[in-house]
Structure 1
Amino acid sequence: MNDHTHHQYDLELDGIRTRVLQMGGYVELQVVKALEGLLKGEMDVIDRVIENDHRVNELERELDEACAQIIAKRQPAANDLRTIMSVSKAVTDLERIGDEAKKIAKMAKVLHSGDAGSGIPRVQLRHLGNLAIELLRKSLDAMARLDVDAALEAHSEDKQLDTEFKSVMRQLITFMMEDPRTISRGIDVLFAAKAFERIGDHSKNLAEYVVFLVEGRDVRHVKDAQRKV
């Protein structure tokens, strides 16, 4: 590979990394707006999140195609192949986070239609939602800076989000037991809460890809991701 070709190759890789981070920023905004719609019941915000999901899907297709083209043209090896693999996996998780944001928006639309939203303690979802957004933000920041320490820190914070989800679930079960008329609405809120928990899982995956990209370590399913090999 001559210098010109190598430079062009580096530009292509940098371009893909930039585009996946742009997709991450767009998906993060979708989650932020979904939480806002859920808490405030602003239908224009809710509808926009639902409508904009198609853009997340388009970004996934575009980046998948870009990765496939680089593999076909450049036949990357070693570190470059790790980059392509990490980007490809990150794109899948980002698309799924986008799907979860859309689910939250759909639940918000149901909960705020007519008088359906009265009596449900949605405000207790604020902390859960903010934890999910913060975890996503930290994982994306670690990816942007290729910062393994930041990625491992984000990875460990998923436990806090899981604990908060279980707390919200217990609160909702208690609420529904006290007033069976709220069961239908309570289940909708629970679906929204579960979506935030899933966003945390996908964000944790993003952090794992950073470690793999930089160090070649696979920390999936490792009880203590901080452990060095």
Structure 2
Amino acid sequence: MKRNVLRATDSTEELSRLIRQACLVAKDSAFNVREFVRDSSKMAYLAVKDCEKELDRIERDVDERMTSAITQVSEAQARELLACLKFIIDLERIGDLLWSAVKRLHEIRSAVSRNDTFDLLEMSSVLEQMLERIHQGFIERDLQNAHWVLRTDARIDQACAAVFRRHLEIGNRRHREHSTNLLFVAQAFERAGDHAKNLSEELVHLIEGRSVRHEQKRRQAQA
């Protein structure tokens, strides 16, 4: 019995370690996206690609370990394992979105205006900060970091909206393809921010055992 408890604890700790690693990889991806937006660095471009591959690998590793681990653990450990599973889904998706954004930027980089560059830098910088807070919050089981991420997602939404306003107003057909690409990039950042927000909601659930998302829906229904 004692051996089973130790094995279950080891499994939970290993999966938690993988999630901490994945948080750092996703944060590194956001950092390198920002560097690519700033100066079209080839090293940054390749780093984002590597981060996407690494997040895919970690997701596979988590999936493989989860099946055996979930049958051996206590209720509290099971809740942590389920949180790990939800975390890696969102983190892997963030990696996909950032890689897709960088590939589009690579095609149009020389034509990105100063205003667009400012908003893209804002989104990538904020996303990097959000992922750092998620990482710290997961390690320390800290609600303040989770709530900071919940509040800060609006900054990405605002920058994304600014890009959309600017390019939906462009009537010149010659620039339509360029604008479409930039809109896809902005939307990728906005969706990555949504996934980071999901992570903060899951962090609250892990720490307090309550669903922020369900509470928000209930308040909206009562309003």
- Shared fold by TM > 0.5? yes
Give TM-score, length-normalised by structure 1: 0.85
1:93 partnered with 2:90: yes
Cα deviation for residue 90 of structure 1 reads 0.3
Contact 1:129 1:196 in 2 (8 A): yes
1:56-104: CA deviation from partner (whole Å, max 9, x where unpaired): 21110001111112024x0x34211110110000000000000011111
Residue 23 of structure 2 corresponds to 24
Residue 113 of structure 2, aligned match among 116, 120, 123: 120
In the alignment, the residues of structure 1 paired with residue 104 and residue 62 of structure 2 have an alpha-carbon distance, to the nearest angstrom, of: 29
> Which residue pairs with 2:203 in the alignment?
210
Q: Which structure 2 residues correspond to residues 1-229 of structure 1 after superposition, within 5 A?
A: 1-2=1-2, 4-72=3-71, 74=72, 76-112=73-109, 117-118=110-111, 120-121=113-114, 122-124=116-118, 125-174=120-169, 176-177=170-171, 179-223=172-216
Q: Unaligned stretches of 5+ in structure 2?
A: 219-223
Give me the whole-angstrom Cα distance separating, in 2, the residues matched to 1:120 and 1:180. Answer: 17
The offset of 1:22, in angstroms, is 0.5
Which one has a larger percent helix, Structure 1 or Structure 2? 2
Instruction: Using the TM superposition, give the Cα deviation of residue 20 of structure 1 relative to its aligned residue in structure 2, in angstroms.
Output: 0.7
CA deviations 1:137-182 (Å, max 9, x no partner) are 21222112111232122112212321222122212333x33x4322
CA distance in 2, matches of 1:51, 1:214: 31
Identity within the alignment, %: 23
CA contact (8 A) 1:21 1:140 kept: yes
1: CA distance, partners of 2:134 / 2:51 = 22
Which sits farther off after the overlay, 122-131 or 78-87?
122-131
Q: Is the 8 A contact 1:93 1:206 kept in 2?
A: yes
For the 8 Å contact 1:38–1:104, the answer to whether it is kept is: no
For residues 208 and 119 of structure 1, the distance between their equivalents in structure 2, rounded to whole angstroms, comes to 34
How far has the Cα of 1:119 moved from its partner? 5.3
8 A contact 1:120–1:182 mirrored in 2:
no
1:34/1:49 contact within 8 Å kept: yes
CA RMSD of aligned residues (A): 2.2
